[in-house]
Each structure stands twice: as C-alpha cells, then as structure tokens.
Amino acid sequence: MTRVRIDLNISLDGYASSANPTPENPMGEDWGRLVGAYTATRTFRRRVLGDTSGAGTTGVDDAYATGYFEGIGAEIMGAAMFGLHSFPDDPDWKGWWGDEPPFHAPVYVLTHTAPRPSMPMQGGTTFHFRSPAAIEEVLAEATAAAGGLDVRVGGGVGTARAFLLAGLVDDLHVSIAPILLDRGTRLWDDLRGLEITHQVRSEVAESGTIHVTFTR
Amino acid sequence: MTRVRIDLNISLDGYASSANPTPENPMGEDWGRLVGAYTATRTFRRRVLGDTSGAGTTGVDDAYATGYFEGIGAEIMGAAMFGLHSFPDDPDWKGWWGDEPPFHAPVYVLTHTAPRPSMPMQGGTTFHFRSPAAIEEVLAEATAAAGGLDVRVGGGVGTARAFLLAGLVDDLHVSIAPILLDRGTRLWDDLRGLEITHQVRSEVAESGTIHVTFTR
C-alpha cells in the first residue's frame, strides 16, 4: 500500500525554508545550518555526493537519512525546488542534481509555466512536468507510477504544505535544527490538530537535531 | 551568582499561550493540553496541589519539574498571569493560588494600573506591584531580594519575551508539547540567533514532551 511521505528540515521556530535566495545561493542564507546534520550523514554523502569512502555521521541522523531513501517509487516536487524559478528562461534546465539525479524514479515537477517534454535522466530518474492546479491527479499518477512503493512529496515547503493542508500525507518527518531563524516560510500555519489525525513520535539525535514524525 | 531563568510550555508550532481566555477558563481553551505533562508530574502534584500521596509521573518531565522549583529566590510575573486582567476591579485580588501560594519568595507583579500595597501571604510569598516600564530596575530589585538565589521570570509569554528581547535571560527551558495549536501568542518571534548567545540542549520525555534548554 503506497504511503505519501514528506521529509523536511525546519528550525525550532518552524521555518522550513531560508530567506534571501539568490541564483548563486538558491536555498538562501540559512540553508546550510538548517540541513547541516543531514548533509553530514554517511548516507547523504554516499547517496547524493557519491562519496564511497565511508565518511559521515552514523548515528540517529543517519538512520533517518537511510529511511529517507528507502521505498520511494515516485517523487513530487515544486518548481522552485527543481530550479525553474532560478532559471526560468532555460528550456533545457535539468535540475540541480547533474546528469544522474539521486531519485532513481519518476519525479513530477509542479509548474504553472508552459508544459515541457519529459526528461529522462541517467540512473532511472525521469522528470515530468505537471500543473499544480490538481494535486490529487498528480498524486494519483505518481502513485500508479510508484508500483506499490511510496510517493514522496519532496518540497519545497509550499508544495509540502499544499499536500498537508489537503490531508494527503501519511508520514511527515521533520528534522528540527535547534536554531531560531525568524525568517523564511513557516511550515506549521493552519495545521492545527495534525497530532489528532496522526500519531507523533520524537527523538533527539547526537547532533542536537530533534526528529519529529507524524504517522497515520 | 544569581541567574535569570524562564520556564515555559509551548506547542510544537511555538504558541506559548492559549487562545480564547475567559474568567472561568483564564488560561484559554488549549491550556490543559499545553501543560498536561507538567501537571501530571509528582512534583507538581506535591508542590502546587499539596498532594503528598506520591501520585504523579516520575520520569524526565518530573526531573524538569523538580528543577523548576529549586533555587528560586524571587519571581517576576505579568499582570495577566497574576490575574489582574481577569479581575481588574477587585483591589483585594490575591492571585490564583489561594492563601499559601507555591512561590515561597517575593513575587514582583508587573502592572500598568494604579499601585497597590504589597501583599504578604502565608508560606513566605509576598506580592509586590511594579511598573513594567523599566524591567531592568525590577530585575535589580528582585535580584537583591533573591539573596544569591535565582530570579525566575514566571510568565506569561509577553513578560517572558520582554526579558528575552532585552537579553536579560540566562536560562530558558521550554517544554514543547507535540501538538499544533495555530493560535495564541508565539514565543519565538524576533529571537533569531538565540542559539548563538546560548548553548542548546534537547531531550524527549516519556510523555513525548520535548524539553529544550538554552543556557549561557
């Protein structure tokens, strides 16, 4: 049975993206501090950076990083996460991840702009471009493509919130960096009562990161 | 050396007080869920309710509750926490805690309204009424009265934030209930970078409450 999963990095004050993005620093000024515990893990280094040396942390953060990559059959992401907002005039833009993106599955990019042909990449990733007007339809297509595996809504926070507010998410895992940003986009607004529809579990990693998981 | 301490209960989305207060339910509709893990502790039941039966939880939440009561020589609180906003026309209002309040120390109540004479209570608590216009002066008076013990800024969240924003707080402990309220007063606004001036430590209790402590 396919589950719809979200994993996000947020600050203690609930900001899930970082302010002041630029083309040179598309994730914004605080991104490195928000995701530092994740990018330090052995799993991230191996799966995303291709570092097979065994370097990286192996504790609680790495256990969540391993889970992040397991059992995903399709991914949905917003246009900004794919990079269309940073490079709107490049019809051949293929995302931030090089010729072999780390998804190894169909990725549905939600964009209001003109349709683009699908882009098959090395390693099993194919980018498809769909309208965000009907997220249920895109989710149905992604679920069919996932072949019984799970669908991840990868981000950014606006796309994640659209699925959360529509009640479509089975598993939400947030890695809370113990920092206060006071700027960016807040994850939690208008989500009162999520702990009633979902069960909550929390755990603190060696890095100080607080992992909170909502599951239904 | 006197330290200035704050302990607050907040929700996962950062709300430190609960919406829709009424005279019958002065802390608002969600207060019970915000503070439930604390009021379930053996220490709260003994120290605040006078329950000497030994009932109550004895785990991580209770360890923080015990720490809450240790080493406090004076307390500062806002008018709303004392109850002046709920009973503005009663010059003899003595707070919510009965004839023997659980402070056992001088308590400085910050209020813009007309000065009231100090109120000595049973058990060593005396309520003094001071203007919130100069919190540094009130803090100096409370520090002198504390005789080398610590000063707690008890709340509510507006008073706590005034001391935090002024950089006057040495120890901030928040008990984060794993619930999303989406209403009330937010604790964290305008506190960007508190993790730079303070060290952060986090721990999850058996109840699911996340205890986060900022210490300098």
Tell me, letter by letter, the H, E, C secondary structure of B79-110: HHHHCCCCCCCCCCCCCCCCCCCCCCCEEEEE
Residue A24 has pLDDT above 80, yes or no: no
pLDDT the model gives residue A35: 94
Please judge whether A192 and B180 are an interchain contact, meaning their C-beta atoms are less than 8 angstroms apart.
Answer: yes
Q: Which of A145, A172, A160, A140 is nearest to A81 (CA)?
A: A160
| A197 pLDDT higher than 90 | yes
Containing structural domain, residue A23:
4-30+70-215
DSSP class of A69? H
Asked, for residue B127, whether it belongs to a domain, the answer is: yes
Question: What percentage of chain A reaches a pLDDT higher than 90?
Answer: 78
Residue A206 touches partner B, C-beta closer than 8 Å: no
Residue A191 is predicted with a pLDDT of 98
Q: Which residue has the higher pLDDT, A12 or B27?
A: A12
Residue B19 confidence (pLDDT) above 90: no
A169-188 pLDDT, tens digit each: 999 999 999 999 999 999 99
Which of A13, A178, A204 has its CB closest to that of B14? Answer: A13
Which residues of B fall within a CB distance of 8 Å from A180? 188, 191-195
Gap from A60 CA to chain B (nearest CA, Å): 14
Residue B43, domain member (yes or no): no
Q: What one-character-per-residue DSSP string does B158-194 give?
A: HHHHHHHHTT--SEEEEEEES-----S-BS-TT-TTH
Res B22 pLDDT > 80: no
Does residue A25 or residue A99 have the better pLDDT?
Answer: A99
- Is residue A40 domain-resident? no
Q: Which tens digit of pLDDT belongs to each residue from A154-166?
A: 989 999 999 999 9
Q: How many domains does chain B have?
A: 1
* pLDDT in the model for residue A113: 85
B102 found inside a domain: yes
Nearest Cβ partner for B180 among A182, A183, A194: A194
Give A115's pLDDT tier (boundaries 50, 70, 90): confident
Mean pLDDT of A186-199: 97
Most confident of A109-113, A125-129, B44-48: A125-129
Q: Are strands B119-120 and B126-130 parallel, antiparallel or unpaired?
A: antiparallel
**Is the residue at A64 inside a domain?**
no
> Is the pLDDT higher at B171 or at B20?
B171
Q: Smallest Cβ distance to B178: which of A181, A192, A195?
A: A195
| B175-196 pLDDT tens trace | 999 999 999 999 999 999 999 9
Alpha carbons B157 and B17: distance in angstroms, whole number:
7
H/E run at residue A176: strand A171-177
Q: List the one residue out of A47, A48, A21, A43 whose CA is nearest residue A32.
A: A21
Is A195 in contact with B189 (Cβ distance < 8 A)? no
CA distance A54 to A62: 12
Backbone Cα Rg of chain B? 17
Contact call for residues A16 and A156 (beta carbons, < 8 A): yes
Contact B188, B212 (CB under 8 A): no
Q: Cα separation of B191 and B214, whole Å?
A: 12
Answer yes or no: do A180 and B191 touch at CB < 8 A.
yes
Are the CB atoms for A137 and A110 separated by under 8 Å?
A: no
Q: For residues A3 and A163, what is the distance between their CA atoms, to the nearest angstrom? A: 13
Give the distance from CA B126 to its chain's centroid: 17
Beta-carbon contacts of B209 under 8 Å, excluding residues fewer than 6 positions away, are B37, B60, B61, B175, B176, B177, B178
Whole-complex ipTM: 0.92
Top-confidence residue, B150 or A87:
B150
Residues 6+ away with beta carbon under 8 Å from A179: A11, A12, A30, A33, A34, B195, B200
Quick one: pLDDT at residue B28? 76
- Residue A180: C-alpha distances to residues A30, A155, A184, A207, A209 (Å): 10, 21, 11, 16, 13
| Minimal Cβ distance to A208: which of B14, B183, B200 | B200
Interface membership of B33 toward A (CB under 8 Å): no
Which of A180, A189, A203 has its CB closest to that of B182?
Answer: A189
* pLDDT for residue B111: 94
Q: Which residues of B touch A212 (CB under 8 A)?
A: 12, 178, 210
Q: How confident is the model at residue A37 (pLDDT cuts 50, 70, 90)?
A: very high
The answer to whether position B44 is within a domain reads: no
Distances in Å between the Cα of B156 and the Cα atoms of B27, B187, B197 are 10, 10, 23
Task: Look up the CATH number of the domain holding residue A164.
Answer: 3.40.430.10
Q: For residues A67-83, give the mean pLDDT.
A: 94
pLDDT reported for residue B113: 85
Asked if residue B61 lies in contact with residue B207, where contact means CB atoms within 8 angstroms, the answer is yes
* Min Cα–Cα distance to chain A from B180, Å: 5
Residue B12, chain A, CB below 8 Å: the answer is yes
Is residue B199 within 8 angstroms of chain A, CB to CB? Answer: no
For chain B, the average pLDDT equals 93
**Res B27 pLDDT > 80:** no
Q: What is the pLDDT of residues A50-63, one digit of tens each?
A: 899 999 999 999 99
Structural tokens at position A37 = 């515990």
Of A123-132, A142-151, B19-28, least confident by mean pLDDT is B19-28
Do the Cβ atoms of B180 and A195 come within 8 Å? yes
Q: How many CB pairs under 8 A join A and B?
A: 73
- By the CB < 8 Å criterion, does A167 face chain B? no
Q: Which of the four pLDDT bands, split at 50, 70 and 90, describes residue A214? A: very high
Q: Which of A25-34, A69-78, B21-30, B204-213 has the lowest mean pLDDT?
A: B21-30
Q: Give the model's pLDDT for residue B115.
A: 80
Residues of A whose CB is below 8 A from B181: 192
A23 in a structural domain: yes
Rounded Cα gap, residues B123 and B135, in angstroms: 26
What is the pLDDT, as a whole number, of residue B142?
A: 98
* Dihedral over alpha carbons A98, A103, A108, A110 (to 10 degrees): -60
Quick one: CA torsion of B95, B142, B214, A190, rounded to 10 degrees?
30
- As a whole number, mean pLDDT of residues B114-123 equals 92
Residue ranges in chain A assigned as alpha helix (H): 31-39, 42-47, 60-69, 79-82, 135-146, 157-165, 194-197
Give domain status of residue A204, yes or no. yes
pLDDT of residue B85 exceeding 90, the answer is no
